Amino acid sequence: MLKHELRTLYLNKRKQIPEQQVRDFNNAIINQLKNLNWSAIKCISLFLPIETLNEVNTYEVLSFFKRYFPQVIIAIPKTNFIDLTVQHLQYSQQTVLEKNKYHIPEPVCGNVVLPSVIDAVFVPLLAFDILGYRVGYGKGVYDRFLASCRSDVVKIGLSFFAPVNSIDNVDAFDVPLSYCITPNKVFCF
């Protein structure tokens, strides 16, 4: 399927998941996180969820890291939708969040975290394929950002669904994931 077809299909699929099942899926994804080795990770980039679109609840991912890996620096993206760039600001208990025009919670201000210090990036997605390519929201913001990161940065998707066989219109600038965590399995690419 083409990206725009997958985008429409998976936006609808996510919206139709019953509330209790969303909670169960989120809990299962956190359990999968617990099985991964985070010992080499010093700094992560973590997007916050668009709750109206039933995204994976990354506030729970944030809590996981604060509880089990409090030494890890957490950088929250703040997107400039004019030039489609992302700046990361360090999260702390004092961080004030505001939703942007797309209902994405973002830090109002904070210390800038450079892409070169980020070890792992949690990447938003709607669908992904068996090769690790993903369908996002269609603006290419994360592919641009990932291109500015170190070549060894770990790219992690979170999805309620298993992968599709293929995305028919993958572009040369599309950056594949390293892993995608689902409720039932961690896919490695």
CA 86, CA 35: separation in Å to the nearest integer?
30
In the block, tokens 């989120």 appear at: 26
Domain carrying residue 111: 3-188
Phi, then psi, of 90 in degrees rounded to 5: -70, 135
- Extended strands (E) in 22-96: 43-46, 73-80, 85-90
142-172 pLDDT tens trace: 999 999 999 999 999 999 999 999 999 999 8
Residue-level pLDDT at 76 = 98
Inform me whether the pLDDT recorded for 139 exceeds 90. no
For residues 63-71, average pLDDT: 96
Distance CA 141, CA 115 (A): 14
Identify the CATH number of the domain in which residue 31 sits: 3.40.50.10420
**How far is Cα 186 from Cα 35, in angstroms, rounded to an integer?**
9
Q: How many domains does the chain have?
A: 1
pLDDT at 128: 98
- Three-state secondary structure along 125-151? CCEEECCCCEECCCCCHHHHHHHCCCC
Q: What is the DSSP letter of 75?
A: E
pLDDT tens, position by position, 89-112: 999 999 999 999 999 999 999 999
